[in-house]
């Protein structure tokens, strides 16, 4: 059974996936998990594989959600992305990291897509 925070997170990821589809992305995976960590959404945008981190907040009390993708989180996402590329034998394709920031809990939350939000970080 999911708690309120998990339900809110799932709702945010669904909103993000719909937004990405409207932007022309094709969703390949959602909640891709390994023993290294998780990537919220893996999609393609034309000829590029995109690893998407979704951050949602009900209010602006703690700042813009996109700033919650810390260097530590970037390293973790990078490791999982490299694992995915190797496991799917796609280590030769173009890839990037995007962040979808969702602000507000109402019927029309603010959605911001930050393309190429950070570089590969694995050190």
Return per-residue pLDDT of the chain as tens, 123 residues: 766 666 656 788 999 999 999 999 999 999 999 999 999 999 999 999 999 999 987 655 666 667 789 999 999 999 999 999 999 999 899 999 999 999 876 667 889 999 999 999 875
Distance CA 4, CA 91 (A): 37
DSSP string, 60-101: STT--GGGG--HHHHHHHHHHHHHHHHHTT-TTSEEEEEEEE
Pairing of strands 37-45, 26-34: antiparallel
**pTM of the full structure:** 0.89
* φ/ψ of residue 89, rounded to 5: 55, 45
CATH of range 4-118; options 3.90.1150.10, 3.30.365.10, 3.40.1350.10, 3.40.50.150: 3.40.1350.10
Domain coordinates in residue numbering, the chain: 4-118
Query: What region, left, alpha or beta, does residue 37 occupy, with left being phi > 0 and alpha being psi -120 to 50 degrees?
Result: left
């Amino acid at each position: 059974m999911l708690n309120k925070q998990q339900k809110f997170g799932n709702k945010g990821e669904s909103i993000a996936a719909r937004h990405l589809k409207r932007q022309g992305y094709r969703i390949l995976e959602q909640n891709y998990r390994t023993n290294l960590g998780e990537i919220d959404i893996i999609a393609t945008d034309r000829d590029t594989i995109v690893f998407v981190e979704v951050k949602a907040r009900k209010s602006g009390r703690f700042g813009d959600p996109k700033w919650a993708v810390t260097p530590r989180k970037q390293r973790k996402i990078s490791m999982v992305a490299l694992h995915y590329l190797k496991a799917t034998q796609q280590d030769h394709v173009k890839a990037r990291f995007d962040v979808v920031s969702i602000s507000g809990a109402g019927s029309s939350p603010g959605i911001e897509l930050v393309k190429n939000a950070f570089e590969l970080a694995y050190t």
